[in-house]
Structure 1
Amino acid sequence: MAIGDSCSDASLTQGDQHGDLRSISEAPPAHYILNIQQLSLLTKQNVERYESGEFEAGGYKWKLVIHPNGNKSKNVGEFLSVYLAMADPTSLPPGWEVYANFRIFLLDQNNDTYLKVEDAMSKGRRFHRLRTEQGFDQFISLKEFSDSNNGYLLGDNCVFGAEVFVCKERSKGKTESLSMVKDAVAYKHTWIIRNYSKVNIDCENSNIFSAGDHKWKIQLYPLGKGSIGGYLSLRLALAEPEKVASGTKILAEFTIRILDQLDTRHLYRKASYWFSALKPDWGWQRFISHGTFFQTNRGLYLKDVCYIEAEVTVHGETTIFG
């Protein structure tokens, strides 16, 4: 951080009605210069928003965002809108905020000086994952910008610049982030158990399969889980719960079926559950009674073979940070 560029009050020559402080600087911007040639071609191509390349300042990557005819999403007209944006907001840990003082420059090509615009707020602007852009809706009027006497736009060329000074970083404490999956996809896995009569009488696990960026397995308890007796238990489980971060929960909708090998009378149960490292499995202790499973007129168990299918859809994931 440069001396004198911390989050402190600055002595500037001019303020405006929007709380922006404006001054004239002979020194060029310290961190980035953007030279735009043939600016009018941007507007002719209906480019409402132009993003510069990335530059680094204060340990973060930034970019300039320019709306040549004003930010339409904020109903700004007759002005240029200019913003500073974090180029890679995902590099900021969830729950963290960055406070930065920044200045946007516009070159007066007639006098080789810069119009310098900065925020009147002495504490800096706050950036975080949900607010990645800060700046000036009414950076300069199009009338003033286009007047060649001012030197800002000459020969259809203009030059912008930026300086960024990060003055504070802090955590907001615990933060919970929930990400839902749009158009979630269902994944199916079929487990063929041959020689069923020889499976582990306590618990048998299927092969591991993937669904929604996580690994899963089916758990079979031939004599029931716990001391219930007379039932077969089936559960869906995270295959690698130790790799799931603390505080992370995974919302999965799943169906477990025992397929009927003689007919389409498959036996199934359906549920939704938040899986986590501490609660890695869920299912049914009384999924099916032994009497029904071993019925000779059905094909749930046939010639010592059983087909169990899991259909898993991951709908969302929540993580707690801090």
Structure 2
Amino acid sequence: MGNSCVTGSVQSNHGQSQEPNGAQTTFKWTVDGFSSLLDKGNGWTNSSVFQIRGLNWHLKLNPRDTKIGGVKEYVSLKLVLAQQHVRSGTVVDASFKFLIYDQSYGKHNKEYQVSHNFQSTSSISGTSYMIPLRTLREKSSRFLVKNCCIFGVEFGRVVVAKGNFMSETLFVQKINNICSDSQVYNWSIDDFFLLKNPSTSPEFELCGHKWFITIHPSGEDKSGNYLSLYLRMKVSDTLHQSSGNLVELSISIKDQETGKHRKLSDRCQFSKNSPSWGWPKFISLEDFKDSSNGFLLKKKCCIEAQIAVIGSSKIE
């Protein structure tokens, strides 16, 4: 298949032990056209934000993950709790399972149990090396059927319970479709020390959408030890609440002397519910202000956003 279709759903699990506040809840994420995602190489793809137990979450999928120092490839999942929906100092004690489904029987027979304390300073769970990629791609495998895989996360004990249903369809396009070739915007800042916290770049247009960069010169936490950077899409009123765009995003702070830029990348979905993605701890202010690194010279710095729209999504 040329395109990838990624479908997610949130639903209640019945026939299992239930917490006093309601039934356990599962998010299922179907990747139809798995080979198209593999062709994009090592890297994380984010699901849309979904709400379970009154909190906002999203999954991260890496189809070509490797262990440190290793060469063997794994299909890995992470679960992320949106920090902005957790009060400062709050700990969300959650137990959950990462799942991969045997499509011949409609049941999962590969799972990984996780217990994790999500905090405002640490929202990403540990990685689960669910299954070697080679195993998943074997002809006898029931996990990969007609180029389709189904992953999931099953929640056990979570502080807030809320039962609802929603689904997501993510269409990952072939290379050279839509705006898969990256487009670049450079924001030159003449005096970093005059920036407010936060400050925004001038509005710019790439890949048929309008954007701006948000910078927090002294970070978002009280410590003030880090510089934060985000890319925000200017979402038009015509964009449906259930629509989104899958974007390959890179943000760089340029080294003005040697070209050894500080660059972070991700694959994210922009929508009305999540118009902004980025990094609260992009770089320490100590490293940024060290003139030997070339990031800040004579009060000047340059931030580059590189954007490629590689798909679209629909939530039902």
In which range does the TM-score fall when normalised by the shorter chain? Answer: 0.3 to 0.5
TM-score of the pair, normalised by structure 1: 0.43
Max radius of gyration: which structure? 1
